[in-house]
Chains A and B, each alone.
Chain A
């Protein structure tokens, strides 16, 4: 292993890839070599560093200087000035709050963040198992297999208070115990990486930035419940995630961290990737199972739940990517360590994706229970263009919209539902006062009509009618009674739909009606858009 005086990390997350980070990386390698620095400076491609709208992003260590929007043409200057002469190229550092250097460790962007899930993202080379191991990778698995009984592992996860991060917030330890207690010749661990919720890209960046944490977490789950086979169901669109996971599986097998008799414990575990083919509803756990079985991804009637009767009718644990990424640190550091983050009812952190009208778009990890106000104004840098905050949709398109009066509500899985919304997948869509409520509502409802799988009537018909009514209001053809109809239809769908899709589809429209009803009424009664932007 070589010793270098400087490491240059180039963000290789998808947003940066599409802004040209590959070219920047190649140019860096060539320029470093040309200047004869290749034995002193190492160029590493890493996972997402977080500030996606600033890509391509690179970080130079040991200083920890973060450069943004780096172009190939900037590379000679960075090499000449920084890597050779030690002078920070300030024009690429961005708008630092104070003059001078922005350190990656301490910019305002990361100030309030706690990194558990993203502990390795942007720090390691995701294609190197050694770098994962250097950051305590696979130590939790080793500890479980050599020092703990399966029941102890489940007990630790239960004690940690971890709840599912895909959106349903079901206690993970309890879920595992159902499968552990089921009597069967074969059990499965499924990692749900079918991240389809609009505005959500956390799982993609975890898979791209730290694929081994998922393999390790799944193996631990397998040991805990008695499963020796795992599947990761990844969206077909996530090309880079699939590629990096594939490499990680190969590396883990080569070192014997997957396969038979791991750590001489007698426990064996294998993981395969399954590629999705474009269906939002496959993010629902039984829809996902149907899809792996080669069928249309239509959700099953529950019960029975997958915990006892899942893939191929066998007991199956289905966990979200972020949930699984929490498992190794919990087992390594103990449940009490995990409980120091977040709130009593909802320990740990949450990864949020910031999108829409916000200065710093991208990925953040913060303690559970943080307020929307802190996320938007302390971490997100506020609303750009001198505009005012109007509303935020939490939890993706199936989450509710919150007005500015609710900016100080703590965001966790239990408090947001009290206000009609949900934490969901952690997508935060921020909208400024230039947007028309009805126009946005139509966009949401169009989505659900398209994604409804059609299996159950309340959802198939309901999503179409919700969209139809909202579209009419948007065209200026709304009539009195429409809003009451939307409310009523939404309530019926919430109680009678088969799966989460139909149950959640009315959530955004119901919260919009609750907090912005006057704007709908203006469209219906006065044929007028108060923001003047929707073209009515």
Chain B
């Protein structure tokens, strides 16, 4: 290695790769993966979110799953929690809607109001 810049470049790349272990405050997307959620297609929803994030090279978002929250008829349910903002819960999130949520809410900060079922 001949320059410090070279080290810096590797560091930035590698940090993106390990960021989710650092436990820092970041945007979280939570997908309901209870039996009802999976039955309603939450697997595809989750995959679509992952795919869309990867396509857009977004690496500072944490994607996790949760169990059934008791709103089974609204599944698949997706929560978006941005640091310092209220939790936004979307219902009946198909894979197409999921991609839209990433584009609109995550990237541009625009909540997709018509699909929101709760906000707290």
A–B contact with Cβ pairs below 8 Å: the answer is yes
Over the window 1-43 of chain B, the binary record of Cβ atoms lying under 8 Å from chain A Cβ atoms (1 yes, 0 no) is: 1111001001101111110110100001011011100100001
Residue picked from B11, B50, B54, B59, most chain A C-beta under 10 Å: B11
CA distance A134 to B15 in the complex (A): 5
Which listed segment binds B: A59-67, A343-351, A464-472? A59-67
Q: Does B104 contact A (CB under 8 A)?
A: no
Cβ-closest chain A residue relative to B62: A62
* Contact assessment for A124 and B1 in the assembled complex, using a CB-CB cutoff below 8 Å: no
Select A130's contact among B10, B31, B33, B47, beta carbons within 8 Å: B10
Q: Does A115 contact B (CB under 8 A)?
A: no
Cβ-closest chain B residue relative to A64: B23
* Contact assessment for A136 and B11 in the assembled complex, using a CB-CB cutoff below 8 Å: yes
- Residues of chain A within 8 A (CB-CB) of B20 are 4-7, 61-62
* Contact assessment for B1 and A262 in the assembled complex, using a CB-CB cutoff below 8 Å: yes
CA distance A263 to B65 in the complex (A): 44
CA distance A64 to B24 in the complex (A): 12
Select B11's contact among A7, A63, A139, A261, beta carbons within 8 Å: A139
CA distance A133 to B18 in the complex (A): 11
* Contact assessment for A134 and B50 in the assembled complex, using a CB-CB cutoff below 8 Å: no
Q: How many residues of B contact A (CB 8 A)?
A: 36
Min C-beta distance of B83 to chain A, whole Å = 14
CA distance A238 to B7 in the complex (A): 31
Q: Does B110 contact A (CB under 8 A)?
A: no
Min C-beta distance of A265 to chain B, whole Å = 9
- Residues of chain B within 8 A (CB-CB) of A142 are 4, 7
* Contact assessment for A86 and B65 in the assembled complex, using a CB-CB cutoff below 8 Å: yes
- Residues of chain A within 8 A (CB-CB) of B23 are 62, 64, 105
Over the window 77-98 of chain B, the binary record of Cβ atoms lying under 8 Å from chain A Cβ atoms (1 yes, 0 no) is: 0000000000000000000000
* Contact assessment for A85 and B38 in the assembled complex, using a CB-CB cutoff below 8 Å: yes
Band of interface residues on A: 35 or more
Q: Does A256 contact B (CB under 8 A)?
A: yes
CB within 8 Å for A256 and B34 given contacts A1-B14, A131-B18, A142-B7: no
Over the window 91-108 of chain A, the binary record of Cβ atoms lying under 8 Å from chain B Cβ atoms (1 yes, 0 no) is: 000000000000001000
Min C-beta distance of B85 to chain A, whole Å = 18
Cβ-closest chain B residue relative to A132: B14
Q: Does B67 contact A (CB under 8 A)?
A: yes
- Residues of chain A within 8 A (CB-CB) of B34 are 85
- Residues of chain A within 8 A (CB-CB) of B64 are 5-6, 62-63, 86
* Contact assessment for A123 and B21 in the assembled complex, using a CB-CB cutoff below 8 Å: yes
Q: Does B72 contact A (CB under 8 A)?
A: no
Cβ-closest chain A residue relative to B59: A3
CA distance A39 to B47 in the complex (A): 9
* Contact assessment for A134 and B18 in the assembled complex, using a CB-CB cutoff below 8 Å: yes
Over the window 43-61 of chain B, the binary record of Cβ atoms lying under 8 Å from chain A Cβ atoms (1 yes, 0 no) is: 1001100100110000100
* Contact assessment for B1 and A1 in the assembled complex, using a CB-CB cutoff below 8 Å: no
Min C-beta distance of B86 to chain A, whole Å = 20
Min C-beta distance of A243 to chain B, whole Å = 22
- Residues of chain A within 8 A (CB-CB) of B47 are 40
* Contact assessment for B67 and A39 in the assembled complex, using a CB-CB cutoff below 8 Å: no
Residue picked from B13, B17, B47, B62, most chain A C-beta under 10 Å: B17
Q: Does B63 contact A (CB under 8 A)?
A: yes
CA distance A460 to B45 in the complex (A): 73
CB within 8 Å for A256 and B1 given contacts A5-B50, A7-B20, A86-B67: yes
* Contact assessment for B62 and A5 in the assembled complex, using a CB-CB cutoff below 8 Å: yes
CB within 8 Å for A146 and B50 given contacts A6-B20, A85-B65: no
CB within 8 Å for A130 and B14 given contacts A62-B64, A84-B65: yes
- Residues of chain A within 8 A (CB-CB) of B62 are 5, 62
- Residues of chain B within 8 A (CB-CB) of A40 are 46-47, 50, 63
* Contact assessment for B11 and A263 in the assembled complex, using a CB-CB cutoff below 8 Å: no
Q: Does A257 contact B (CB under 8 A)?
A: yes
Cβ-closest chain A residue relative to B4: A142
CA distance A384 to B120 in the complex (A): 45
CA distance A130 to B13 in the complex (A): 9
Select A5's contact among B4, B63, B67, beta carbons within 8 Å: B63
Residue picked from A62, A63, A136, A256, most chain B C-beta under 10 Å: A62
CA distance A134 to B21 in the complex (A): 12
* Contact assessment for A3 and B67 in the assembled complex, using a CB-CB cutoff below 8 Å: no
Scan residues 116-145 of chain A and give those whose CB is less than 8 A from a CB of chain B.
123-124, 130-131, 133-139, 142
CA distance A3 to B53 in the complex (A): 9
Select B66's contact among A39, A86, A131, beta carbons within 8 Å: A86
- Residues of chain A within 8 A (CB-CB) of B15 are 134
* Contact assessment for B17 and A3 in the assembled complex, using a CB-CB cutoff below 8 Å: yes
* Contact assessment for B67 and A130 in the assembled complex, using a CB-CB cutoff below 8 Å: no
- Residues of chain A within 8 A (CB-CB) of B30 are 86
- Residues of chain A within 8 A (CB-CB) of B10 are 130, 133, 255
Q: Does A264 contact B (CB under 8 A)?
A: yes
* Contact assessment for B2 and A264 in the assembled complex, using a CB-CB cutoff below 8 Å: yes
Cβ-closest chain B residue relative to A60: B64
Over the window 1-20 of chain A, the binary record of Cβ atoms lying under 8 Å from chain B Cβ atoms (1 yes, 0 no) is: 11111110100000000000
- Residues of chain B within 8 A (CB-CB) of A123 are 21
Cβ-closest chain B residue relative to A147: B4
Min C-beta distance of B32 to chain A, whole Å = 8
- Residues of chain B within 8 A (CB-CB) of A419 are none
* Contact assessment for B1 and A255 in the assembled complex, using a CB-CB cutoff below 8 Å: yes
Residue picked from B62, B64, B66, most chain A C-beta under 10 Å: B64
* Contact assessment for B2 and A263 in the assembled complex, using a CB-CB cutoff below 8 Å: yes
Over the window 252-270 of chain A, the binary record of Cβ atoms lying under 8 Å from chain B Cβ atoms (1 yes, 0 no) is: 0001110001111000000
Q: List 5 A-B contacts (CB under 8 A).
A: A2-B17, A5-B20, A62-B20, A62-B64, A85-B38
Q: Please give the residue numbers on chain A whose beta carbons come within 8 Å of chain B beta carbons, in ascending order.
A: 1-7, 9, 39-40, 61-64, 84-87, 105, 123-124, 130-131, 133-139, 142, 146, 255-257, 261-264
Q: Please give the residue numbers on chain B whose beta carbons come within 8 Å of chain A beta carbons, in ascending order.
A: 1-4, 7, 10-11, 13-18, 20-21, 23, 28, 30-31, 33-35, 38, 43, 46-47, 50, 53-54, 59, 62-67
